C-alpha cells in the first residue's frame, strides 16, 4: 500500500511540476539570441514567473519520492512503474496546456500502459 501511495505521489508531483514549469516557460518566452545578456534577461523573466516557482518544489518532491521508492523496491520495478507519468503527462498536456496530441502519441501512451502492466504482473 505504501509503495502504491508513494508511486502516486511520484507520478503526480513529477507531472504537476513539469506542467507548471512548461506553462511558466511558455509565458516567459524564449531568449532572442544565445548571448549572455539575452540569456540573463530570459532567466530574470523566468525567475519572476509564479508557475516556475510552483513547479520547482513539485519536481523536488518527485525526486525525493523516487529516492525513497528506490530504497524500498528494485529499480526494475520502480522505473517502469514511474513511466505512468507519461500517461498523466500526456493527459495534462491535452487538457491543461491545451496541446494537440497526435494519434501516434496516444498509441505510445497505450504501449506504456501495457508495458507497466507487464512489469507489475511479472
Tell me the pLDDT tens digit for each residue of 92-102: 999 999 999 99
pLDDT band at 22 (very low <50, low <70, confident <90, very high): very high
- Kindly report the average pLDDT of the chain as a whole number: 91
pLDDT band at 120 (very low <50, low <70, confident <90, very high): confident
Query: What pLDDT is attached to residue 76?
Result: 87
70 pLDDT more than 90: yes
Query: What pLDDT is attached to residue 12?
Result: 95
122 pLDDT more than 80: no
Question: What are 26's three cell numbers?
Answer: 511558455
Structural domain total, the chain: 1
> 86, 79, 77, 75: which is closest to 112 by C-alpha?
86
> Other C-beta atoms within 10 Å of 86: how many?
19
pLDDT per residue over 42-51, tens digit each? 888 888 999 9
- Residue 107: phi and psi, rounded to 5, are -65, -40
Angstrom distance (rounded) from CA 63 to CA 75: 14
What range defines the domain where residue 33 resides? 2-121
Query: What pLDDT is attached to residue 110?
Result: 93
> Other C-beta atoms within 10 Å of 70: how many?
14
Amino acid at each position: 500500500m505504501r509503495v502504491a501511495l508513494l508511486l502516486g505521489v511520484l507520478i503526480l508531483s513529477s507531472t504537476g511540476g513539469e506542467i507548471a514549469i512548461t506553462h511558466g516557460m511558455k509565458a516567459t518566452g524564449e531568449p532572442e539570441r544565445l548571448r549572455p545578456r539575452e540569456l540573463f534577461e530570459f532567466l530574470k523573466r523566468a525567475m519572476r514567473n509564479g508557475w516556475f516557482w510552483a513547479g520547482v518544489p513539485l519536481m523536488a518532491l518527485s525526486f525525493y519520492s523516487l529516492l525513497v521508492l528506490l530504497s524500498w523496491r528494485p529499480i526494475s520495478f520502480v522505473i517502469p512503474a514511474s513511466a505512468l507519468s507519461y500517461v498523466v503527462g500526456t493527459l495534462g498536456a491535452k487538457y491543461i496546456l491545451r496541446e494537440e496530441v497526435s494519434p501516434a502519441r496516444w498509441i505510445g501512451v497505450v504501449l506504456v500502459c501495457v508495458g507497466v502492466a507487464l512489469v507489475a504482473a511479472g
